[in-house]
Amino acid sequence: MSDLFTAPVLVYDMPPLGRSVTMGLSILDEQGALLATVTERISEEQRGHRRHWGSGESTRHTLLVAAPNGAPYFWVDRLHVDGPTTIAGRTLVVAPDGAPIGHLDRHAKGFALFDPAERQLGNYDYARVLDWQGTEVAVSLKDRSGGYFRELAQGTSRGDRHTLTMHYQLPEPLRTLVLSCPIAFDVAMYGSNRPYGHGGYFDNFFG
């Protein structure tokens, strides 16, 4: 039986957020069986701030990826930082014991994937994941020609579902970083397209 770290195809399902101030999504296999949950952890102070001001691009998001029984797999922690490899944010990927697995640095066209030693392992362009040699290792299916993405740019879509297909069993830490790519995408979407947050993140997709 496949699990989060062996299944070749994963479905990331984020329900409509409505008035919720926290993110949450499910990760399923091809048959719809639940393999993991992704739950945002925030303090009451953060909850009150978001309820009043919304969630902008500079908001920190800390999410736990866990087994259906609650056992932690890893953490995804989005920070708003600028640096030599990012223009708008760094997403840390951390093991349950606090050991770094790697990080994703957002740039103009997606995310760059790094291991804990700062070696770049690949790139995620919102549709594909390429390794450091430029070979495609995974595909994240989305409607980039209109439809969902246009609604997203206009701030009218809140639900989200996409499929991550890995072409072969990826070595660690690349596998876990690839698992984190759709989550990093959804965090960017959530922070940029709240009704009273900062908009325009996806404006570059449409002239």
What local confidence, expressed as pLDDT, does residue 157 receive?
41
How confident is the model at residue 14, as a pLDDT? Answer: 81
What's residue 65's pLDDT?
96
Give the pLDDT mean for 156-172: 80
Provide the CA 98 distance to its chain's centre, in angstroms: 19
Q: What's the whole-number mean pLDDT along residues 49-76?
A: 73
Full-model pTM: 0.78
Q: What is the pLDDT of residue 37?
A: 96
Per-residue DSSP letters for the chain?
A: ---TTT-SEEEEEE---TT-SS-EEEEE-TT--EEEEEEE---HHHHHHHHHH---TT--EEEEEE-TTS-EEEEEEEE---BTTBSS-EEEEE-TTS-EEEEEEEETTEEEEE-TTS-EEEEE-SSEEEETTS-EEEEEE---SSTHHHHHHTT----EEEEEEESS-PPTTHHHHHHHHHHHHHHHHHHH-STTS---TTGGG--
Q: What is the mean pLDDT of residues 14-26?
A: 69
> What percent of the chain stands above pLDDT 70?
65
111 contacts: CB under 8 Å, gap ≥ 6: 91, 104, 105, 123, 124, 181, 184
The residue-averaged pLDDT of 160-178 equals 93
pLDDT above 80: residue 193:
no
Higher confidence at residue 52 or residue 194?
A: 194
Q: What is the pLDDT of residue 15?
A: 78
The domains of the chain are located at 9-199
Residue 167 CA, distance from chain mean position: 19
Average pLDDT, the chain: 76
Q: How far apart are CA 76 and CA 12, in angstroms?
A: 15
pLDDT the model gives residue 142: 63
pLDDT at 152: 41
In CATH terms, the fold of domain 9-199 is Porin (2.40.160)
| Dihedral sign of CA atoms 90, 93, 98, 99 in order | negative
Q: What is the pLDDT of residue 60?
A: 72
**pLDDT for the residue numbered 207:** 31
- pLDDT category, 72, cuts 50, 70, 90? very high
pLDDT band at 140 (very low <50, low <70, confident <90, very high): confident
SS (H, E, C) 83-132: ECCECCCEEEEECCCCCEEEEEEEECCEEEEECCCCCEEEEECCCEEEEC
More confident: 121 or 84 = 121
CA pair distance 72, 82, nearest whole angstrom: 29
The predicted pLDDT at position 121 comes to 98
